Structure 1
């Protein structure tokens, strides 16, 4: 069966990125595979990351971790968005480490037998997850019923080298480590660095780095850090789709809902068999597809299942041809960075939002 669209996942590129990031950090690497591995496929990427040398896997949700275990992942897994009321029994049963960010979670997980493994999450200045107002009370808590494996926090501005907030967070993290030591708790694994910090700040590597977007070959911040090529990374996903229809239209033709675009001259348009139900941003303008050795821009609004591109009157494209929506840019095609910019968003969102109607095709080489 031929697909009308597919996300082609390059496992060789994934392995290359993991190798580069491990060589850069010189410590253990936790591969972040939350959110269906940033749209690349949870189980397949989890298994491939393990095979490629990742030391840990990290997920947001407990059910993601359980699915990885069910499909044969053996390396340690950390789940960090696990609020009170979660299925801590299943976490322990499947040998999953759990982040603790509140006294309520600590109390619940401490009721399990066999000393479940936890990582203490601390708020060092991002003001999102982690202990803050309950910290002093945590230092007085009974840790005898749990094994404190790790302590971690998360940078807010690691992609902005030289920002004082980065230094402030690093200082606060070290302070929290010392305060835990003072009450007899010395976690084996201390981790703070995300992708940006792994690439920019060797002082924050500690015992392990957590790499998400960089592992998928994309820049944490194109404007501040440069693109994939500058960072030596290889984009893992190539998105392509079929041209449902190619036809010639006259000048002055309104295109799409709301007639927000009108052809300026006679041209050929291509109807691409993807839309916002597949993750193509509805507001995207300034992106498009690559075919005939050139870029063909979007014209008009993106619809639920399709969008229109201006192929140009001399195009030789035919109905049924494949077009590249985004790739690594090596042939001149649009990239996930381009689509992020065209959608007033970021590359993270572009790859993560690719919907389940688009099959993931795994191969050693895509590009």
Structure 2
């Protein structure tokens, strides 16, 4: 094993797809942006598709084309584009383009005209998140132009979609207002003559708990990786090994500062992972790892390449395994790390650095 290893259980990814599909009752888009939330986009995509996902979601052109270069032919939606995006290469690769405004729409049409191949387009409405998407006052013009380009065989409008701001609180009146706004946007698009086969609004939280938001397809990100709602299987275990051990007396300073001084004699175990590997400094003073059959605290400042564990009186030796997070009733979970660092599991997972080796366990996915 390398200094740090992220073990990815593709059987868990497959199981999570099936679990969400059984609840949602719709098609599923497996969101594999940010290298599959740090799990490996291609490997996760293959496992998700084998388990029944019918779409793949990416943020960037590079991510979408990476999936195509790996031989994945599943429909892909890519939704965040540079002002000077080369849309022709995406159209040629049969990638669906999320379009959020007229400038973008005209650029996609020009690329399709030059290529002699219709673009596959999904129009995004801003229903209250105030990020990407066309605002209600601009929506009618956007769909009218899209219908014009569709009539010229430059477009195939395959979807209308949006994004919820707070699906984790389904009782929030703002969620209802967003769903109402999305239904209005779909109605305007259809009144303009568009007939998109897909409408989608729901993310992971809405897929599991908000039936009215499900429409034709649900986009699952964090649920795919099992780092959120109960009933799903965590797909990543982050682990390492002790590289140095020392017994120190009470009053010993630990790491920079020192911000931590031992209150009693203790065994300190050195772990060769730091914030460059995704161990967040913001978790200092709260974070724990699994060592010697129990949780042990990380003490002192987390450095770029290493951190120190207070193992108490455990008989620790170099080479002993350490789990930072992973499945199991007692081990720290990625949600624990998110709480300790004051962030969400998404940031912890996507922050696992390139020095951490990814190793894949096929599990259930081997037979699909």
- Normalised by the size of structure 1, how large is the TM-score? 0.94
Greater shift in the superposed pair: 131-140 or 76-85: 131-140
More helix by share: 2
Deviations 1:72-127, CA, capped at 9 Å, x for gaps: 11110000112432121110111111100111110011121221100001100111
Contact in 1 for aligned 2:5/2:238 (Cα 8 Å):
yes
Displacement of 1:161 after TM fit? Answer: 2.0
Tell me, yes or no, if the aligned pair for 1:283 and 1:301 is still in contact at 8 Å. no
**Is the contact between residue 5 and residue 359 of structure 2 (CA under 8 Å) also seen in structure 1?**
yes
Tell me which residue corresponds to 1:241: 240
Gaps of 5+ in 2: none
Aligned-partner Cα distance in 2 for 1:139–1:213: 31
Residue 216 in 1 paired to residue 219 in 2? no
Q: Counterpart in 2 of 1:335?
A: 333
Aligned to 1:149: 158
CA distance in 2, matches of 1:19, 1:72: 23
- Residue aligning to 2:126: 123
Where do 1:148-167 residues align within 5 Å? 148-167=157-176
Alignment correspondent of 2:308: 308
> What displacement does 1:17 show?
0.4
Partners in 2 of 1:196 and 1:107 — Cα distance?
Answer: 34
Q: Aligned pair count?
A: 353
Alpha-carbon distance between aligned partners in 2 of 1:36 and 1:85, rounded to the nearest angstrom: 23
Q: 2:34 is matched with which residue?
A: 35
Secondary structure at 2:174's aligned position in 1?
helix
1:362 is paired with a residue whose SS is: strand
Partners of 1:5 and 1:41 in 2: CA distance: 16
SS, match of residue 36 in structure 2: helix
Mapped pair 1:138 → 2:142: yes
Q: CA deviation at 1:182?
A: 1.1
Match of 1:224 in 2: none
Cα deviation for residue 48 of structure 1 reads 1.6
1:184 to 158, 182, 193: 193
1:320-359 aligned at under 5 Å gives the runs: 320-330=319-329, 332-359=330-357
Name the residue aligned to 2:5: 6
Would you say the 8 A contact 1:253–1:262 is kept in 2?
A: yes
Q: Does the 8 Å CA contact 2:64/2:78 hold for their aligned counterparts?
A: yes
Contact 1:84 1:104 in 2 (8 A): no
SS at match of 2:243: strand
Deviation at 1:365, TM superposition (A): 4.3
RMSD in angstroms over aligned alpha carbons? Answer: 1.2
Residue 264 (structure 1) aligned with residue 263 (structure 2): yes
Runs of 5+ in structure 1 lacking a partner? 220-227
**Which stretches of structure 1, 4 residues or longer, exceed 6 Å deviation after superposition?**
none
In structure 2, C-alpha distance between the alignment counterparts of 1:283 and 1:14, rounded to whole Å: 28
Helix, strand or coil: the match of 1:134? helix
Q: How far has the Cα of 1:346 moved from its partner?
A: 1.3
The yes-or-no answer on 1:255 pairing with 2:257 is no
TM-score normalised by L of structure 2: 0.94
